[in-house]
Structure 1
Amino acid sequence: MIRRYGTPPKHDVRYGLRPGAYVILPRDGMLLLTWQGDPHNELQLPGGGIDPGETPIQALHREVFEETGWRIAKPRRLGAFRRFTWMPEYKRHAEKLCHIYVARPTLRISHPVEPNHTAVWVSPTDALGMLANDGDAAFLRDVI
């Protein structure tokens, strides 16, 4: 059974399944996170949706680069959780199946290429209180 975090699903809403890959990125006592601006305005684990034809690992590498400008090494899967949410950028409700990894950020190639994203370094204890969703925070809590 996959644990659910966040708001329970509404019975009168149809949710489309949206699998995604997200990662905890520790380095030198800090965490590499992403600040996503409008329409979310929140601190998140880097990652995102798995596109058709992609593996979770391929999506993870692509999303981390797009949202932070960094390359990563040795991703290791920690588990998964579900959350039900409104996705304003796609104008739909989604059941997000979030696969969580831990990896090492190895090389900064560029600034984030994804619009409205900023790479941010935060201490792990500060990140616990700042992450936008409880599922991300629960996995981070287990890592630290």
Structure 2
Amino acid sequence: MIKCYGGAPKPEKHYIRRPGAYAILLRDGEMLVTRQAAPVPEIQLPGGGIDKGEHPITALHREVMEETGWRMALLFRFGTFRRFTFMPEYDIWAEKVCTIYVGRPTLRMSDPTEPGHEALWLQPQLAADALGNPGDRAMLKRFLSKTCDSRQ
């Protein structure tokens, strides 16, 4: 069973399943995240929806480039969570199935090409507190706790 964050679905709403791929991107002790300006300013793990017929890894690379302007090297798949939310940019209620990968930013190509996004570098612990949705926060904190445990 996939852990759910951010509250139970509202029984009166119809949810559309939206699979997505997101990345924990670490380099030189910092973490690359994206700040999305609208509809509400929010710090997020870079990533997003997987288009119909698109492979999840292809979607991840595309979304990271669009939201940060960086290319990335994929290291491994870390986990998956669900959240039920309203997506005002699409005017839908969505069951987001979020798969989290770990990678490393490799080359800055440009500014973010997706409107309203800004690439930010944060200390991982600061990012864990700043991320805008509870699923992203929980996954990053879990990853950081495992990383710290393995260094001891």
Answer whether TM exceeds 0.5 for this pair: yes
Q: Which runs of 5+ in 2 are unaligned?
A: 145-152
Pairwise CA distance, 1:102? 0.4
2:141 and 2:29 mapped to 1: Cα distance?
Answer: 14
Pairwise CA distance, 1:75? 3.6
Cα deviation digits, residues 4-50 of structure 1 (max 9, x gap): 00021100000000000000001111100000001131000000000
Aligned partner of 1:73 in structure 2 is 73
Runs of 4 or more above 2 Å deviation: none
Q: Which runs of 5+ in 1 are unaligned?
A: none
The answer on whether the counterparts of 2:77 and 2:102 sit within 8 Å (CA) in structure 1 is: yes
Cα deviation digits, residues 49-75 of structure 1 (max 9, x gap): 000111110000000000000000124
**Aligned residues: percent identity?**
59
1:46 and 1:75 mapped to 2: Cα distance?
Answer: 15
1:128 and 1:79 mapped to 2: Cα distance?
Answer: 16
Residue 111 of structure 1 aligns to a residue whose secondary structure is coil
Q: Cα 1:101–1:67, aligned 2, differ >3 Å: closer, same or farther?
A: same
Matched, 1:113 2:113: yes
Q: What TM-score results when the alignment is normalised by the length of structure 2?
A: 0.93
Aligned partner of 1:134 in structure 2 is 134
Residue 24 of structure 1 aligns to a residue whose secondary structure is strand
Residue 25 of structure 1 aligns to a residue whose secondary structure is strand
Residue 142 of structure 2 aligns to a residue whose secondary structure is helix
Query: 1:1-144 maps to which residues of 2 (within 5 A)?
Result: 1-144=1-144
Q: What TM-score results when the alignment is normalised by the length of structure 1?
A: 0.98
Pairwise CA distance, 1:143? 1.9
1:74 and 1:96 mapped to 2: Cα distance?
Answer: 22
1:76 and 1:53 mapped to 2: Cα distance?
Answer: 22
2:14 and 2:46 mapped to 1: Cα distance?
Answer: 26
